[in-house]
Structure 1
Amino acid sequence: MIRRAARIAAACLAGTLLAGGPGAAELAPDASLRPVARGQVVRGMVLPAEIFVQRDIAHQVALQALSAARDPERAETLGVTRRLPDPDTAPRVALRPHLRPATVVQQGRRVAALRQQGAVCGDLALQGVAIGRVPSDTSGCGVDQAVRLQSVSGVALSTHAVMDCGTAQALKSWVERGLRPAVKRYGGGVRELRVVAHYACRPRNNRKGARISEHGKGRAVDIAAIELNDGKELVVLDDWSNGREGRILKAAHASACGPFGTVLGPEANALHRDHFHFDTARYRSGSYCR
């Protein structure tokens, strides 16, 4: 709109100058904008040089009008008094409707409400069911505020795992900052984690007389494979030393050290050759990762 107004203003000014109106002498250049011959032949007619000079003057006036439209101070210097609409106050055409259709708004609210209903630990990225206190007759076992986790940041769990919120948050951190960057776009990305152990009241490594495992406190989860969107699986037992798949698994395993206090895998011992063990136990010396 501004350019069109500028062209109209330029044409008006140019017409005034060509007609010898007021202001022509002030805006006319002292010399021609380019060398002009005494006469030029156009369609068999010899035209006087003045015609070409006037054409150049009109062109210059048009350029000055365009400049004035963008710079009011320059307009005053040039003596151009016809102002174009202020671009800051001129009406604008919206690029999209200001109000979304009511049906779209309602659908968005329904989706948000459904997600909110399934959120646990106050985090929409953690979907599941809050189950509260999990009691136990065995000393050291049980969970005060447990959740049954179904998915983490859009990644499903093959088994809905029982754990506390601290472990759920650690799993989310690993999925978003460790697992996904390790997998990248391979196989279309991560779809599901194969969970082979979560809450269970038992001693460490199932050895009689050993201390209660972190599994018995709802602070641990064991993962045996990572399923990708194209259906392929990265299996800890089979792929740990298998080319690209092995490199992905090793990167994912290493990235869990930090979000979790204990990280064990195939190189820890024979008991973990087929899965990753993650738990949120904390040690004064820092995370224990093997």
Structure 2
Amino acid sequence: MKRGLALVLVGLMAGQAWAEVPQSSLRPQLRADGSVSARALPRIPDRPETLGVARQVQPKVAPSLTRVLRPRKRSDEVEEAGRRKQAARRRGAVCGDLDIQGVEVGAVGGPGACGISQAVRVSAVSGVALSTHALMDCKTAKSLKTWVDRGMKPAVRQRGGGVSQIRVVAHYACRTRNNQKGAKLSEHGKGRAVDVAGFTLVDGTKISVLEGWGTRRDGKVLKRMHSAACGPFGTVLGPDANRFHRDHFHFDTARYRSGSYCR
């Protein structure tokens, strides 16, 4: 009897313990100082971002080449040298053309009908030197320049670096044609003619009218030169003209009603 009563009391006490509600809350407590952990808060962006709008990215601009391609300013020394060279050309220019270099001679008298009223002694034409400083009038000097620019240079092109010197074998001389007794006065006696026997290239190569006319390589160049002279000059004679011109070109500025005479 007593044992049964004891079991009943134990059961009642256990049920009461299970029925007790906890007095403390299971909810997390704030810290004593009231602070909140930074990790617990979401990051608030400084600027609002709009969804669905692509972010604008500025394209990278290639560095400008203007500074690289722009030529450097020439030094004072280079500019001064250029001015001196140009001044020298002006001082050496004749016939009112910077490309015709030489000296003014003035009137040249001679026996009979020979002579030049206003002569110049030409040393270079369009940058090409004459082996002999040739005495002539300005009309002939200008015709020579035209031929050099439009005939001689294009015929040679860049072979050997171009022509550096023209071999002049005759210019002003008071004589008859072909030095023949009883012949008419030559255009040489009037300062209207120049005879050319060959050319020297920049690399030292020689082109001779006498030796090259009948060859394949030089002959082609010489024939082009000869043909181009017909027009700037009134008379053009070469190796095929006669025995007196087998070794040179004769150019003069005589004019004929029928036009230029070229042989």
Q: Which amino acid counterpart does residue 75 of structure 2 have in structure 1?
A: P
Equivalent in 78, 91, 104 of residue 78 of structure 2: 104
Corresponding letter in the other structure for 2:49? A
Equivalent residue number for residue 280 of structure 1? 253
- Check if 1:187 corresponds to 2:160: yes
**CA shift for structure 1 position 237:** 0.9
Q: In the alignment, residue 284 of structure 1 is paired with which amino acid? A: R
- Whether 1:136 aligns to 2:110 is yes
Deviation of 1:175 after TM superposition, in Å, equals: 0.7
TM-score for the superposition, normalised by structure 2: 0.75
Match of 2:41 in 1: none
Give how far 1:123 is off: 0.9
Per the alignment, residue 198 of structure 1 pairs with 171
Identity of aligned pairs, percent?
59
By how many angstroms is 1:104 displaced? 2.8
Q: Residue 199 of structure 2: SS of its match in structure 1? A: strand
Aligned-residue Cα RMSD (Å) equals 2.5
Gaps of 5+ in 1: 1-15, 29-56, 67-91
Offset of 1:96 from its aligned partner?
4.8
Aligned: 1:252 with 2:240: no
Query: Structure 2 CA distance, aligned partners of 1:149 and 1:135?
Result: 18
CA distance in 2, matches of 1:287, 1:17: 91
- Alpha-carbon shift at residue 108 of structure 1 (Å): 1.7
Q: Quick one: structure 1 residues 253 and 104, their matched pair in 2 at CA, closer, same or farther if it must change by over 3 Å?
A: same
SS at match of 2:142: helix
SS at 1:234 equivalent: strand
AA at the equivalent of 2:208? V
Q: Partner of 1:19 in structure 2?
A: 49
Identify if the C-alpha distance between structure 1 residues 204 and 17 changes in structure 2 by more than 3 Å, giving closer, same or farther.
farther
State the structure with more CA Rg: 2
Give how far 1:173 is off: 0.6
Looking at structure 2, the residues matched to 17 and 207 of structure 1 have their Cα atoms a distance apart, in angstroms, of 108
Shift in alpha-carbon separation, 1:97–1:155, aligned structure 2, 3 A: closer
Residue aligned with 2:182, SS: coil
Deviation (angstroms), 1:225: 0.8
Listed as ranges, the matches of 1:166-185 within 5 Å are: 166-185=139-158
Equivalent residue, structure 2, for 1:52 = none
| Mean CA deviation greater in 105-114 or 159-168 | 105-114
Shift of 1:176: 0.8
Distance 1:235 1:94, change over 3 A: closer
> How far off its partner does 1:105 sit?
2.6
Between the aligned partners of 2:123 and 2:137, the Cα distance in structure 1 is 13
Aligned residues: 214
